[in-house]
Copies of this chain bind each other. A is one copy, B any other.
Amino acid sequence: MLKSRETASATLENLYRIFTVPEAPDSTLGGIDQAISNDVVGFLQTHIVALERSIEEIEADFSSSIIPENPTFVSEYTEFVKQKLVAQSVHTAAPGFIGHMTSALPYFMLPLSRIMTALNQNLVKVETSKAFTPLERQVLAMLHRLVYLGDDTFYKQWIHDSEHALGAFCSGGTIANVTALWVARNRLCAPSGSFRGLAQEGLARALRHLNCDGLAVLVSRRAHYSLAKAVDLLGLGRDNLVKIDTDANNRIDMKQLRAACRRLRDDNIRPLALVGIAGTTETGSVDPLGEMADLAEELGCHFHVDAAWGGPVLFSKRNRHQLEGISRADSVTIDAHKQLYVPMGAGMVVFKDPTAMSAIEHHAAYILRHGSKDLGSHTLEGSRPGKALLVHAGLSIIGHKGYELLIDLGIERAKSFAETIRQHPDFVLTSVPQLNILTYRYCPEKVQRCLLQATDEQRGKINQLLDQINQMLQKDQREAGKTFVSRTSLQVPPCNQKRTVLRVVLANPLTTDEILASVLDEQCTIMLQQDIQDLQQQVEALCAEVDDSPVAVCAERN
Whether B129 and A385, one on each chain, are in contact in the complex, defined by CB atoms closer than 8 angstroms, is no
Whether B229 and A159, one on each chain, are in contact in the complex, defined by CB atoms closer than 8 angstroms, is no
Task: List 6 extra interface pairs beyond A18-B107, A200-B237, A228-B362, CB under 8 A.
Answer: A33-B110, A56-B160, A69-B400, A113-B114, A113-B117, A345-B383
Residue on B with the closest CB to A135? B62
For the complex, is A389 an interface residue (Cβ under 8 Å from B)? yes
Query: Whole-angstrom distance between the alpha carbons of A389 and B406 in the complex?
Result: 31
**What does the 1/0 interface line of A27-68 toward B look like (CB < 8 Å)?**
001001100110111011100001000011011011111111
Closest approach, in angstroms, between the C-beta of A405 and any C-beta of chain B? 5
Q: Which residues of B contact A393 (CB under 8 A)?
A: 77, 81
Query: Whole-angstrom distance between the alpha carbons of A77 and B395 in the complex?
Result: 11
Which one, A120-128, A320-328, A456-464, is touching chain B?
Answer: A120-128
Whether B72 and A396, one on each chain, are in contact in the complex, defined by CB atoms closer than 8 angstroms, is yes
Query: Whole-angstrom distance between the alpha carbons of A61 and B392 in the complex?
Result: 13
Residue on B with the closest CB to A364? B225
For the complex, is A515 an interface residue (Cβ under 8 Å from B)? no
Closest approach, in angstroms, between the C-beta of A418 and any C-beta of chain B? 19
Whether A343 and B115, one on each chain, are in contact in the complex, defined by CB atoms closer than 8 angstroms, is no
For the complex, is A416 an interface residue (Cβ under 8 Å from B)? no
Residues A367-412 near B (CB distance < 8 A) = 367-368, 373, 380-386, 389, 393, 395-402, 404-406, 409
Whether B281 and A92, one on each chain, are in contact in the complex, defined by CB atoms closer than 8 angstroms, is no
Whether B10 and A404, one on each chain, are in contact in the complex, defined by CB atoms closer than 8 angstroms, is yes
Using known A-B contacts A202-B240, A204-B207, A384-B344, determine if residue A20 contacts B68 with beta carbons closer than 8 Å: no
For the complex, is A432 an interface residue (Cβ under 8 Å from B)? no
Whether A92 and B36, one on each chain, are in contact in the complex, defined by CB atoms closer than 8 angstroms, is no
Which one, A98-106, A524-532, A533-541, is touching chain B?
Answer: A98-106
Query: Whole-angstrom distance between the alpha carbons of A221 and B55 in the complex?
Result: 46
Whether A36 and B171, one on each chain, are in contact in the complex, defined by CB atoms closer than 8 angstroms, is no
For the complex, is A201 an interface residue (Cβ under 8 Å from B)? yes
Whether A397 and B204, one on each chain, are in contact in the complex, defined by CB atoms closer than 8 angstroms, is no
Whether A19 and B104, one on each chain, are in contact in the complex, defined by CB atoms closer than 8 angstroms, is yes
Residue on B with the closest CB to A52? B130
**Most B-side CB within 10 Å, residue of A88, A92, A396:** A396
Whether A15 and B383, one on each chain, are in contact in the complex, defined by CB atoms closer than 8 angstroms, is no
For the complex, is A12 an interface residue (Cβ under 8 Å from B)? yes
Whether B397 and A119, one on each chain, are in contact in the complex, defined by CB atoms closer than 8 angstroms, is no
Residue on B with the closest CB to A139? B62
Using known A-B contacts A111-B33, A399-B68, determine if residue A383 contacts B172 with beta carbons closer than 8 Å: yes
Q: Which residues of B contact A108 (CB under 8 A)?
A: 18, 29, 32, 74, 77
Whether A41 and B18, one on each chain, are in contact in the complex, defined by CB atoms closer than 8 angstroms, is no
Residue on B with the closest CB to A50? B130
Whether A89 and B119, one on each chain, are in contact in the complex, defined by CB atoms closer than 8 angstroms, is yes
Whether B15 and A509, one on each chain, are in contact in the complex, defined by CB atoms closer than 8 angstroms, is yes
For the complex, is A356 an interface residue (Cβ under 8 Å from B)? no
For the complex, is A551 an interface residue (Cβ under 8 Å from B)? no
**What does the 1/0 interface line of A1-33 toward B look like (CB < 8 Å)?**
010100011111011101111100000010011
Residue on B with the closest CB to A146? B67
Using known A-B contacts A202-B237, A381-B171, A487-B366, determine if residue A395 contacts B122 with beta carbons closer than 8 Å: no
Q: Which residues of B contact A33 (CB under 8 A)?
A: 37, 110-111
For the complex, is A134 an interface residue (Cβ under 8 Å from B)? yes
Query: Whole-angstrom distance between the alpha carbons of A15 and B402 in the complex?
Result: 7
Whether B114 and A40, one on each chain, are in contact in the complex, defined by CB atoms closer than 8 angstroms, is yes
Query: Whole-angstrom distance between the alpha carbons of A174 and B431 in the complex?
Result: 40
Using known A-B contacts A237-B201, A487-B366, A488-B365, determine if residue A172 contacts B21 with beta carbons closer than 8 Å: no
Q: Which residues of B contact A196 (CB under 8 A)?
A: 239
Whether B77 and A226, one on each chain, are in contact in the complex, defined by CB atoms closer than 8 angstroms, is no
For the complex, is A441 an interface residue (Cβ under 8 Å from B)? no
**Most B-side CB within 10 Å, residue of A20, A56, A178:** A20
For the complex, is A284 an interface residue (Cβ under 8 Å from B)? no
Using known A-B contacts A18-B107, A127-B100, A365-B282, determine if residue A141 contacts B65 with beta carbons closer than 8 Å: yes
